[in-house]
Amino acid sequence: MRQDGNATGKHQQKQGAISRKDNLSRTRKTAVSSTNEEMVMSMPNRSAYGVRSNWLSWLNLRPEESGRTFLMFAFYTLSSVGVLWLEVSVAALFLGEYGADSLPWIYMASAGIGTLFGFFYDWLQKVLPLRQAIVITSLLMGLPFLLFRLDLDPAWLGAYTVFLMRLWLEAIYVISELITSITANQLFTIREIKRTYPLISSGILAADVISGLSLPILRGLVGLENVIFLACLLLLFSSGILFYLTQAYAQFFPDAPRRRSSEKQNNEAARRLRGSLQQYVWLVIAVFVLIQVLFVLLDFQYLRQIEQNLDVQVESIADFLALFSAILGIFELVTQWFVSGRIVERMGVFVVSILPPLSIVLLSFLTFVGGFPLFIGVVLLKFVDELLRYTVVASVSPVLFQPLPEAIRNRAQSFVRGIAEPLAIGLTGAWLLINIWLLERLGHGTADLLQGKVFLFYTAAFALCWLGAVLLLRSKYVDVLVLSANRGQINLSDLDLQVFKRNLIEVLNRSIPDVEKKSCIELLTQIDPKSVSEVLTPLLPQFSPALQRESLEAMLKSPSPPSPSSLKAVRRLTLSPLPPDVMAVALRYLWLTEPEPDLHLLRDYFKPSIDPEVRGTAAALMLRRGNPRQKAEATDVLRKMLTHAQERERVMGCRALGDAVYLQSLRLHIEKLLKDQSLRVRCAMLEAIAATHLEEYYPVLLRGLHYKSTRDASMRALVRLENEALPLLVEVAENAYKPEIVRSYAWNAIGQIGSVEALDILVSRLMTAWGNTRRTILKSLLKLPQESGIEGVSDRLGRSGIEMLIDQELLFLAHLYASLLDLNADQVPGETATLLRRSLRDAEQDTFDRLFLLMRFLYDSSTIQAAAASIDFNTRDSLARGLEILDNTLDLPSKRALLQVLDRQSDPEKLRSLSDFLPHQPPYQPLYPSERLRHLVELRHFLSDWTLACCFHLARQQRWSLTPEQTLSCLRDPTGYVREAVIAYLRTVSPKTLQNLLPYLKDDRRSPPLRPQSPHLPGTPR
């Protein structure tokens, strides 16, 4: 303790600089989150803000999203009112002029105009920036109807114009959906769109109500033809809103046309549009095509049944359609505002996507078997289809495009909305015409009933296809998200070994860099070690020396005995000039793998002119396998090398000792070599000690962990000892007075040993370790080959044990957020308090790291790594993508809380989501700052040393009292600057107590720590 005491003054002088340096290293991670509570607490007019937050949360929105959302809602509502006025007016005019049997011709013709428009929009994106393209496209919705309105007066031209209007109305459906989905995907991330798009898409539901109630009144006041003129003006006004939105949020739109801004990205996207990504795109197209096919089928049956069962005037049909639309709109609006967004967020995209096709199948079946009259059944089908289509389907549709890379997302949307859907409508119309013609000839007097039954069967069949496409799409969704995060990895279990080896040989025969060939060799060693010699032996002559050595070392590790052809090939290789390192490995391969080697040939390599690496290898081989006379000769060669004046001779002599197994008289040189002035000699000697299992020198290996120069060599040596080193490593790893880096290396060494005993040690300590120790153990377990660490944890702890560790981390986060709120900058100002808050932010990031490591034990490692990389990148889109990956991967009971704390939310919101984890006080109850600090010190076993020191410095500055038990416990902390912080606190708060303690501290040689072996976080079972 005296040495630390003498250094106190110097440490206090440097403490500010050290803390600033430590916190600057984490600036990138905590830049966004470090000011959360300051922003919330200092926000003006907090009561108004609270009211606004309440009604936004009622709508499942966040304040930063509200402006964009309501502008999109206004645009979509007004444009939808105009479209619905046009739809009802034109539908009534069309039925009165042509009848329902002419609708298939409209569907067919609309395919042509919709497809042409799709190509037009694709071209427009290439010559104009995106925000200009969507505004111009929006203007095209209403302008043609102004011209059509002028031609409605002449009788013969009016009929022709009605057909054209109905045709352009089909194009408007395409334009409206395309603009809305593309604009929303630009304005919102994949997570935001789940919350915002239900409200945006409810614009068409509000439009249903408005148009349904207003159209009969407007028709009576101005006439049906003038309603069309008013609808055109409304569409033009909505285009003005869209123009304002694209200007106000221009940062979300690219400035250059697609051809210039993303040419390179599209080339890259084209290369990646294979495998899972290509399958996903085709499945998305299939889903949207089937949705349109069902829309046409149900729309045709609905209008046909109205025509057949309601023998009334055109105006009355328009009134019925408007009333139906109004009633439907009320149900849709209630569903979308209060139900849709929340069930999408809680149940997931694909659970919700299954509901519409299932409902259509059930209703079609019931109507087909006579459960409902045909007219009632068709009206119910239309009602349910539109209710779900414009609520849950509209909410999840843009989300399906979000996993696609940004370079191809807009193009895929324009293809689906502008080309695939119109073609589907047109082909369905042609198919309807053929079926009507056939059924009229087969049905005779019962044609109407027969057609109704057949079309119900078609409806159920296509709904089942829709359901199947959704289920297939679900299996590809997370894969594409991971691919978009650039973290796709090879799944070794899916490889065909024969095909893989054949492809590997082809790659190794190509003219590629040695680095890539080395990676192929390592991959082969990992996947199929038994065939290493078979694959690599024929390639040895054409390899470079570095690859020859890599190949021979891989062949030496092969578990299967070498074939005679392999031995012959290596022997032939040694006859040619080789670098010393390659020749040494070749000799080891020949004389260690041959059953009866000719050791007399090794004497040729004992000459002083031979390179010391080859000479030492030959001597070690003879010392291992020779007779007593040969061993004596080899010992003399190694003795001369170990005592040679040149460093290289001594280094190679020490390395040869590791292969010798029996040192005999060479033991006499170990002490001197361990003190050799050459670092390379000392490191080589450490590895030789492990190779020959010299137990009396094991403490030297442990001391080597304390020095940076010998740390790696000591760890390799200890790993080579395997289970023999485990008790030594555990003693170092659990010694709280050892430096953190030494303990970390000890845990890593236990992990690299990887035996069953080592695995038992790591798993048993995982339950009681905390902080950096837990993170190191988790990383060591995850690095074990063949996922043996993951399987070991699952076998010993089970899923419930891992979930308990995750809940423990979340509970710790709850305590952190409570501390950050109660110790905010307004209540506790000053630099010391700022340092404490920053250390708590660092603890938050460390907890996130441990959470991601724990999740890798339950789910696919590459998927969790992709999510972690996306969230850590900390941009708007990458964060949303990472959270979406987790949302579709996790099935933890605490999933909602976990996603909330990883998202960009304020500390009060995060703490609210963790309220169930707080013991005895859900929801959170604020404490006085001094009381919160005492509670924080009570959690000292879970805090970092720096955070604990900051707590005592803050208590000293504010003159807050801490309990005697807390003070005495931290006074015996293993870390020097924690003890110094406690002494500084006592000197300010209670000088008399410090005077009484100083005699005991003067001769204290770091007593054992008072921290318990099994830390217990309040609120969790021991």
* Whether the predicted pLDDT of 683 surpasses 50: yes
* Whether the predicted pLDDT of 492 surpasses 60: no
The two tokens of residue 216 are 């009969």
Q: In this predicted structure, what is the pLDDT of residue 191?
A: 74
The per-residue pLDDT for range 752-805, each reduced to its tens digit, is: 998 999 999 999 999 889 889 999 999 999 988 878 888 889 888 888 899 999
* Whether the predicted pLDDT of 51 surpasses 70: no
State how far the Cα of 305 lies from the Cα of 292, in Å rounded to an integer.
20
State how far the Cα of 475 lies from the Cα of 278, in Å rounded to an integer.
13
Contact call for residues 782 and 856 (beta carbons, < 8 A)? yes
Q: In this predicted structure, what is the pLDDT of residue 981?
A: 92
Least-confidence region, from 344-348, 544-548, 583-587, 818-822: 344-348
The two tokens of residue 726 are 């485990």
Q: In this predicted structure, what is the pLDDT of residue 156?
A: 40
Mean pLDDT over residues 717-735, rounded?
Answer: 92
Give CA angle at 784 (782, 787), nearest 5°: 75
The per-residue pLDDT for range 402-455, each reduced to its tens digit, is: 777 766 777 787 788 777 887 888 788 888 888 877 877 765 544 566 677 888
**Nearby residues of 364 by Cβ (< 8 Å), 6 or more positions away:** 377, 381, 456, 457, 459, 460, 463
The two tokens of residue 599 are 């050791």
* Whether the predicted pLDDT of 1014 surpasses 50: no
The two tokens of residue 801 are 């044990």
Q: In this predicted structure, what is the pLDDT of residue 706?
A: 92
647 vs 167: which has the higher pLDDT: 647
335 sits in the region (left: phi over 0; alpha: psi -120 to 50; else beta) called alpha
Q: In this predicted structure, what is the pLDDT of residue 100?
A: 59
Q: In this predicted structure, what is the pLDDT of residue 110?
A: 66
* Whether the predicted pLDDT of 486 surpasses 60: no
Which of 16-20, 517-521, 813-817 has the highest mean predicted lDDT (pLDDT)?
Answer: 813-817
Contact call for residues 613 and 581 (beta carbons, < 8 A)? yes
Mean pLDDT over residues 363-387, rounded?
Answer: 86
Q: Is 510 helix (H, G, I), strand (E, B) or coil?
A: coil
Contact call for residues 41 and 826 (beta carbons, < 8 A)? yes
* Whether the predicted pLDDT of 310 surpasses 70: no
Q: In this predicted structure, what is the pLDDT of residue 723?
A: 92
Q: By C-alpha distance, which of 834, 854, 841 is closest to 20?
A: 834
Residue 212 — pLDDT band, cuts 50, 70, 90? confident
Q: In this predicted structure, what is the pLDDT of residue 919?
A: 66
CA distances (Å), origin 213, targets 79, 170, 219, 323, 614: 16, 23, 11, 7, 96
* Whether the predicted pLDDT of 27 surpasses 90: no
Residue 90 — pLDDT band, cuts 50, 70, 90? confident
The per-residue pLDDT for range 552-608, each reduced to its tens digit, is: 888 888 777 788 888 888 888 888 888 999 999 988 888 888 877 777 888 888 888
Contact call for residues 142 and 82 (beta carbons, < 8 A)? yes
Q: In this predicted structure, what is the pLDDT of residue 842?
A: 93
Give CA angle at 359 (358, 361), nearest 5°: 65
Residue 120 — pLDDT band, cuts 50, 70, 90? confident
Residue 106 — pLDDT band, cuts 50, 70, 90? low
Mean pLDDT over residues 270-295, rounded?
Answer: 77
The two tokens of residue 490 are 């090879």
Contact call for residues 110 and 425 (beta carbons, < 8 A)? yes
CA distances (Å), origin 580, targets 572, 577, 599, 617, 642: 16, 9, 19, 10, 19
550 vs 1011: which has the higher pLDDT: 550
What is the residue whose two structure tokens read 């038990």?
965
State how far the Cα of 654 lies from the Cα of 652, in Å rounded to an integer.
5
The two tokens of residue 62 are 């966040």
State how far the Cα of 216 lies from the Cα of 234, in Å rounded to an integer.
17
What is the residue whose two structure tokens read 């395997």?
722
Mean pLDDT over residues 984-996, rounded?
Answer: 85
What is the residue whose two structure tokens read 């995106």?
130
State how far the Cα of 706 lies from the Cα of 738, in Å rounded to an integer.
9
% of the chain exceeding 90 in pLDDT = 20
Q: By C-alpha distance, which of 100, 567, 151, 453 is closest to 310?
A: 100
Contact call for residues 798 and 805 (beta carbons, < 8 A)? no
Q: By C-alpha distance, which of 869, 873, 871 is closest to 883?
A: 871
Least-confidence region, from 429-433, 819-823, 864-868: 429-433
State how far the Cα of 657 lies from the Cα of 919, in Å rounded to an integer.
60
Contact call for residues 731 and 743 (beta carbons, < 8 A)? no
State how far the Cα of 203 lies from the Cα of 83, in Å rounded to an integer.
12
* Whether the predicted pLDDT of 639 surpasses 70: yes
Mean pLDDT over residues 249-269, rounded?
Answer: 58
pTM over 0.85: no
Q: In this predicted structure, what is the pLDDT of residue 7?
A: 35
Q: In this predicted structure, what is the pLDDT of residue 737?
A: 86
Q: In this predicted structure, what is the pLDDT of residue 13?
A: 33
Mean pLDDT of the chain: 79
Residue 30 — pLDDT band, cuts 50, 70, 90? very low
State how far the Cα of 219 lies from the Cα of 227, in Å rounded to an integer.
7
CA distances (Å), origin 263, targets 257, 274, 578, 925: 10, 18, 49, 55
* Whether the predicted pLDDT of 361 surpasses 60: yes
Contact call for residues 673 and 681 (beta carbons, < 8 A)? yes
Which of 111-115, 372-376, 906-910, 990-994 has the highest mean predicted lDDT (pLDDT)?
Answer: 906-910
Q: In this predicted structure, what is the pLDDT of residue 1007?
A: 44
Q: In this predicted structure, what is the pLDDT of residue 649?
A: 92
Residue 489 — pLDDT band, cuts 50, 70, 90? very low
Q: In this predicted structure, what is the pLDDT of residue 23?
A: 37
What is the residue whose two structure tokens read 């940062």?
251
* Whether the predicted pLDDT of 6 surpasses 50: no
121 vs 858: which has the higher pLDDT: 858
Q: What is the largest CA-CA distance in the chain?
A: 122
Q: By C-alpha distance, which of 943, 964, 952, 930 is closest to 1017?
A: 943
Q: In this predicted structure, what is the pLDDT of residue 779?
A: 93
* Whether the predicted pLDDT of 103 surpasses 80: no
Least-confidence region, from 268-277, 448-457, 700-709, 892-901: 268-277
362 vs 391: which has the higher pLDDT: 362
Residue 856 — pLDDT band, cuts 50, 70, 90? very high
Mean pLDDT over residues 152-178, rounded?
Answer: 67
Alpha helices (runs of H) in 509-626, residue ranges in sequence order: 514-527, 532-536, 545-556, 564-574, 580-593, 612-625
What is the residue whose two structure tokens read 């993170």?
775
